[in-house]
Structure 1
């Protein structure tokens, strides 16, 4: 079974590899006065020109370039599309590292020393359980006073928080709106209402070109990411909302083929979700405090309560040291 963050990553990468979706994200988030300088319909994915070899697999569908309407045909702006399913406070530093790597690679392959660097605009699509906390690099540095901020490389990046923001207020493509709606309601008691909204959005996708593809993708995502006890209700909602398209009923039934399987399958899925929760917490802690001591990772893996792991995931962003986090883990492991 894929780990939960990997499921989210693979899904959004697939969505963003569709030019229509990528353009809709940029159009929805980029200020109009900046868009006026760009020819967004000529967007392309950069696999070789700007991406160092060690980053190509990850960014092959996440780094796009758009030509400007003024200047030469080589004048372009890069958009770095990034996704986070958990809060990572050092994300601004990660963006800076990527930008510097792209620029360094570009300079080493530039034809002329006089070549200028392309603009790189980071775009973050996030859906942590409690939303994203916007931070700059200066927020991560221990500054004696604000007078030191002039020496810190702060910069802006575009953010869509699928938990705090309403996808309906943005001009995203319907396929993306459906996914973002699922993310918005993922941890809400109103999740099934969110599913209804998502399937109504899916229904608006062009049936001759993309509907079947994205319906299958959304259903597969739900199957991998939700509890088996929810399958029957999700299936019923899908069939009701798509009642005008009987050709999709087989797809819906096939994607939830596991519904009602024996108890052993349910136990296996629960064990998989427990492992996902453990590994996600380890990843989250490593992002905050660096590689964890082996004993601490083992202690996290010893916690057999998903609820306790989720509580730790919520509390970790408020901890100020690895020792403080370790104390919370030790307490959770005793319960």
Structure 2
């Protein structure tokens, strides 16, 4: 899977969790704005307003909610793909907003006010400027012919690991610290203590599906030589996390995702064979899917994460 797709998938999996977006609004929105949003009314939308051209720039997650007890608005979370700032981000954002309002029109609705939020995790600082600033030398008479709107910017690189670990919403903290450091090789080894504490906080909520997502993301963004150490970090967090880690690690090793040997005991080590001879890719795929189902992954998640045909995954599950 291409690395941009790995980041996008983790972004979508993370920010599809309402509790994470609640934390984003409470902790990072401008206070005057955040206080007027009814968090209880937050509802994940199935709509996406990216088109073929916009997909080159970002992935989106859209929420609907109530503002000041009556007005319906949208919050569009736009995850910037690139590791550098787009020169004229307002142009892409304007296209996005027009797509949203055109969709409202097609559905015979009044246009819904949409708050665009750019989430950026590149290494270089994102320098915010207004749209009229793109047009140098324009006076007030000319600027009145320009559209002018703002967007909220969350440049993750500008948060220290200590700041992030201090977020009261641990779902937000965990996603933030991983996205911030993911472009650094073997990054998790340097933040292992803070990471472990965040995983334990998530585990206390009972959301083990998110821990599975985090493990897959960390493995996908870590160089091969460090992967055995990453597995050890997860294994030592708790019994539940160890169980998830070893099941996924075995399945991924079978698929050739993890190179070399994983240190420590793995029941029935996979080195081209699992408890005797398994001939052919078909049998290996069946066992691979069965292991993931046993730890609670559904057909759609397995198919998307490991790039398998969903119909094939569903067929294997039906025969279990």
**Which band: TM-score by shorter chain?**
0.5 to 0.7
Could you tell me the TM-score, scaled by structure 2's length?
A: 0.66
1:143 aligned residue: 136
Match of residue 113, structure 2, among 116, 119, 124: 119
Quick check: 1:200 aligned with 2:189? no
Quick check: 1:250 aligned with 2:243? yes
The alpha-carbon deviation at position 17 of structure 1 amounts to 1.1
The SS at the match of 1:65 is strand
Larger CA deviation: 124-133 vs 163-172: 163-172
CA distance in structure 2 between the aligned counterparts of 1:195 and 1:136, rounded to whole angstroms: 39
List runs of 5+ in structure 1 lacking aligned partners: 266-335
The SS at the match of 1:144 is coil
CA distance in structure 2 between the aligned counterparts of 1:124 and 1:52, rounded to whole angstroms: 14
CA distance in structure 2 between the aligned counterparts of 1:53 and 1:127, rounded to whole angstroms: 20
Please tell me the root mean square deviation across aligned C-alpha atoms, in Å: 3.1
CA distance in structure 2 between the aligned counterparts of 1:78 and 1:179, rounded to whole angstroms: 22
1:106 aligned residue: 104
1:65 aligned residue: 64
CA distance in structure 2 between the aligned counterparts of 1:195 and 1:152, rounded to whole angstroms: 48
How many residue pairs match? The answer is: 246
1:227 aligned residue: 223
* Larger RCO (CA under 8 A, 6+ residues apart): 1
The alpha-carbon deviation at position 164 of structure 1 amounts to 1.4
List runs of 5+ in structure 2 lacking aligned partners: 262-270, 272-320
8 A Cα contact 1:45 1:60, kept in partner: no
8 A Cα contact 1:21 1:172, kept in partner: no
Quick check: 1:80 aligned with 2:76? yes
8 A Cα contact 1:63 1:81, kept in partner: yes
The alpha-carbon deviation at position 54 of structure 1 amounts to 6.0
Match of residue 95, structure 1, among 80, 85, 93: 93
1:193-252 deviation per Cα after TM superposition (whole angstroms, max 9, x unaligned) = 224322221110143520x21221111111111111011222233334x1xx22321322
The alpha-carbon deviation at position 60 of structure 1 amounts to 10
The alpha-carbon deviation at position 122 of structure 1 amounts to 0.9
CA distance in structure 2 between the aligned counterparts of 1:161 and 1:99, rounded to whole angstroms: 21
8 A Cα contact 2:235 2:246, kept in partner: no
8 A Cα contact 2:44 2:63, kept in partner: yes
Match of residue 209, structure 2, among 205, 208, 213: 213
The alpha-carbon deviation at position 105 of structure 1 amounts to 2.4
